Structure 1
């Protein structure tokens, strides 16, 4: 009888050991902060959650508390204070401004981000190989020289209007990159500040008459005013281009873009590693090495721009 009791006790202990990770996982709470409603953030979050689900981190075992700052830095700061006062196993952030806000306030919870263009320039990480802090994640960064080379395949340009918003670190970083290579490519980059929607109508009509191309940075202000800017550019026969796929989907003529969903899957793998005990600082921050050409044919036709057949054949996605 004693031997039988010991046998059943051992069985019970084995069952408890197997179930223990599930019970622990059921107690996990993950905070999620998107900076705005822009499509790339939702696509990236979709990839993150799919990767977490594959590893067993999904509802109802895990509770996701999702917040959206609606493009407001002030609202993001308020929301972060609420996150900081609760008990989270992990914070997930989408966008540079959301990540800056969370990393500034929360130091004792691991943070995994996606869609942060230059985390070092934004001062959320000390380096790409190691953040040196409690963060890791993925970036939509591309080689700006490759973007300009693809632009040349469509048409040689001399003057580029770079639309950016001061105070948005990602937008400022992208402007700096363009300015750094302008002499090598024999182009003149004209910084154009778009701080509010009204600037589009007040500033851009004159700008479009003096440039060959217009670059859309990752500013949330610019992202909320795509159709009128694209219409002005098309009317002037100006090529619009970017590094963000969702902006091409909304009307920008072409882009060299990292797929936000794929960036999300990559960030999701990092999130799984963190939840399993790996320190964020030991997980390198990554970007996609081979971004794809994305083209909006409708805008090309409206702009009377002929896309070379060779570039069309290279395209990862074409929006009609």
Structure 2
């Protein structure tokens, strides 16, 4: 009953602006929490639409940033369904999966989903099927792990992940495979709350892990500076795929370009609005991927970065 009540209030709140949708397409976006990279991707998406002639005179954009939990995500998707959205844009795998469960006749364009096929979001990269397409954020885990190993030999790797977020679980599985191939051990900590994060950091910093890998999840992303500072205090470098992690103090990161993700998503939205079937639009993969080395972090951790690692890096933080 409470959910229905809030849905009615939401719909009533839009009655004063609904007439403005006449002759325009309604595109609704769900940003997971207040994560900066999603905001940047969304700005790029809006700019891309404008460059394609799809400005505010042709497209009405509605954006919601619900609390980072499944109930809030589902409620937001239902609201967008209720107001007759023409396209729903989802940022991150958790929101995308919620949208798949809630709607089956509205095109979905997802952004920043790590391994869409492995996550069960799409049938394939070339032909996603269902009612969706979007942009993958998957990058080669081996590149990150080898760069870290060249700086400091990995005997044991600590992993902070969230078992409730599929992208985080996929990254965990990839590291397990690499650990078996390269001969290092892993210490896995499943983190889904702030209290669990504190406990996990305590466990890892008191162990003999050589690195901590911060897997992509809403909680870890929002607490990344805390993770990096706590690890650094114990002489442990952090590596990650989370965009901007190196700028926050991680030693090595392999980062997808968030702005390019938004541009590619904007192209998907444009194609759908022009009549192309979303399930036939291949999943896009950004070409701009940065291997970032943080020399400032290396100095603080008393680590030397070999020239071969610097040669393959595309960005250096000094």
In 2, Cα distance between equivalents of 1:311 and 1:263: 26
- Out of 219, 231, 234, the residue aligned to residue 233 of structure 1 is 231
Partner of 2:79: 82
What is the 5 A alignment of 1:21-100? 26-100=23-97
Kindly state the Cα deviation for residue 304 of structure 1 after the two structures are TM-superposed: 2.2
What is the 5 A alignment of 1:289-300? 289=287, 291-300=289-298
Q: Which has the larger radius of gyration?
A: 1
Kindly state the Cα deviation for residue 98 of structure 1 after the two structures are TM-superposed: 1.1
Partner of 1:284: 282
Tell me if structure 1 keeps the 8 A contact 2:221–2:242: no
Partner of 1:199: 196
- Out of 129, 133, 136, the residue aligned to residue 139 of structure 1 is 136
The count of residues paired between Structure 1 and Structure 2 equals 298
In 2, Cα distance between equivalents of 1:314 and 1:43: 26
Alignment pair present for 1:244 and 2:258: no
Residues 2-47 of structure 1: per-residue CA shift (max 9 Å, x gap): xxxxxxxxxxxxxxxxxxxxx9994111100111211221121122
Tell me if structure 1 keeps the 8 A contact 2:151–2:306: yes
Tell me if structure 2 keeps the 8 A contact 1:200–1:228: no
Partner of 2:15: none
In 2, Cα distance between equivalents of 1:109 and 1:174: 29
Partner of 2:266: 268
Question: Given the superposition, is the C-alpha separation of residues 242 and 25 from structure 1 closer, same or farther in structure 2, using an over 3 Å criterion?
Answer: farther
Kindly state the Cα deviation for residue 290 of structure 1 after the two structures are TM-superposed: 5.8
In 2, Cα distance between equivalents of 1:163 and 1:139: 22
Q: For structure 2, list consecutive stretches of 5 or more residues without a partner in the other structure.
A: 1-19
- The two structures have a TM-score, normalised by structure 1, of 0.87
In 2, Cα distance between equivalents of 1:108 and 1:206: 46
Partner of 2:185: 188
- Out of 120, 137, 140, the residue aligned to residue 123 of structure 1 is 120
Name the SS for the 1:293 alignment partner. strand
In 2, Cα distance between equivalents of 1:276 and 1:314: 41
